[in-house]
Amino acid sequence: MSFAAVTRQGARYARFAQLRCFSSTPKTSAAAEVKKLGVIGAGQMGLGIALVAAQKAQLPIKLVDTSQASIDKGLKFANKLLEKDVGKQRISQDDATAARERLSTSTNIDDLSDVDFVIEAVPEIPDLKTKIFSQIAQICPSHAILATNTSSISITRIAAATTTDPTDLSAPSRVISTHFMNPVPVQKGVEIITGLQTSQNTIDTAIELCKKMGKIPSKSADSPGFLANRILMPYINEAIICLETGVGNKEDIDSIMKNGTNVPMGPLQLADFIGIDTCLAIMKVLHEETGDSKYRPAVLLRKMVDAGWLGKKSGKGFYDY
């Protein structure tokens, strides 16, 4: 038999196996119904997630943050976004009022005791996230899905914090990452990242919730940086190295990427919008967990964080705001 014939036969076998695989897949989803959503963290990401869920999925939301000032600031921003949508006739005033009324707040994490799904959206500090998950595993109902918005920290590690017994998967199996892209009201993509312990029911429920929020989910393995940041952050880091070594100035670096690759903003401006400190935190995780020198954070990136130049949120980054 010729090489071409063997190749054709192999392709037929592959298609047959693929068809068998698809035909054995259940047609009905194992997704559980989400009637109430909890969000931890009233910062830009948490507020964005809560607002989109209130608008698109039309779910009652409990937004929790330890700081009342952060909650007040977040609600002020939410009202501004809703007013903007009404002004541009994207939604009616009645829709905006209804979305705002679905959003309630608290400074007490115990108020998440009746949610079906909770999304943690606090800073990328591993100890902080594991502490929160050890708490919500005890506070939330036994059926509740426990999701994190982490952009770089291992889901398996976070899930392990929900129990002291590694053989007990009742809580760890309900842990998953729903990594929303920033800004949440604008970006469609969500990374669905599973830990070693994550159940299929948890995956299905997370995917269905994201779809109801008008998002497009993509699945990623539990690997440092996952998909989005494994690709994006080295790109931003290399742009910073180009700046610090004089390969180009900030305007030319951003201009060539915008006008040469058709991205909406250049890497340095994007870093400002993400947050310079967030970029550094993710690069540190990539570098430490892979041990690969190609993920070493740029010297200038560290210096800017030391200076407090964190980007748009602080008023100064690579550009002034």
Structure tokens at 289: 């967990």
Supply the angle between the helices 44-52 and 68-87 in degrees, to the nearest 10.
50
By percentage, how much of the chain surpasses pLDDT 90?
A: 85
* Longest Cα separation, the chain: 75
Active site residues per annotation: 151, 179, 191, 229
Q: Which residues contact 312 (CB under 8 A, 6 or more apart)?
A: 272, 273, 275, 321
Domain 37-221: state its class: alpha beta
Task: Give the whole-angstrom CA distance, residue 291 versus residue 221.
Answer: 18
Instruction: Flag whether 65 is marked binding.
Output: yes
pLDDT over 50 at 3, yes or no: no
45 annotated to a ligand binding site: yes
Res. 30 pLDDT band, cuts 50 70 90: confident
Considering the domain delimited by 229-314, tell me its CATH architecture: Orthogonal Bundle (1.10)
41 is in an annotated binding site: yes
The string of pLDDT tens digits covering residues 100-115 is 999 999 999 999 999 9
Q: Rounded to 5, what percent of the chain is helix, strand, coil?
A: 55, 10, 35
Does residue 46 have a known ligand-binding role?
yes
Q: Is 307 annotated to bind ligand?
A: no
- Segment 277-283 mean pLDDT: 92
Rounded to the nearest 5°, which phi and psi values hold at 308?
80, 15
Lowest-pLDDT range, 124-128, 251-255, 304-308? 124-128
Position 29 scores a pLDDT of 57
Domain parsing of the chain, residue ranges? 37-221, 229-314
Would you state the pLDDT for residue 20? Answer: 38
Given a cut of 90, whether residue 22 has pLDDT beyond it is no
- Quickly state the pLDDT bin for 182 (edges 50, 70, 90): confident
Tens of pLDDT, residues 58-90:
999 999 999 999 999 999 999 999 999 999 999
Task: Please state the rounded mean pLDDT for residues 265-278.
Answer: 95
pLDDT at 26 over 90: no
Question: What are phi and psi for residue 61, nearest 5 degrees?
Answer: -120, 135
313 is in an annotated binding site: yes
Mean pLDDT of 217-232: 93
For residue 29, how many other CB atoms are within 10 A of its CB? 13
**Residue 15 pLDDT more than 80?**
no
How would residue 228 be classed by pLDDT, with cut points 50, 70 and 90? very high
Equal fold, 37-221 vs 229-314: no
Query: What is the CB neighbour count within 10 angstroms for residue 315?
Result: 11
Which residue bears the tokens 């041990």?
Answer: 291
Q: Is 44 annotated as a binding residue?
A: yes
Instruction: Identify the pLDDT of residue 102.
Output: 98
pTM: 0.82
Which residue carries 């330890």 as its tokens? 66
Could you give the C-alpha distances from 287 to 47, 230, 245, 300, in angstroms and in order?
30, 11, 21, 16
What is the average pLDDT score of the chain?
A: 91
pLDDT of residue 27: 43
Whether residue 309 has pLDDT greater than 90: yes
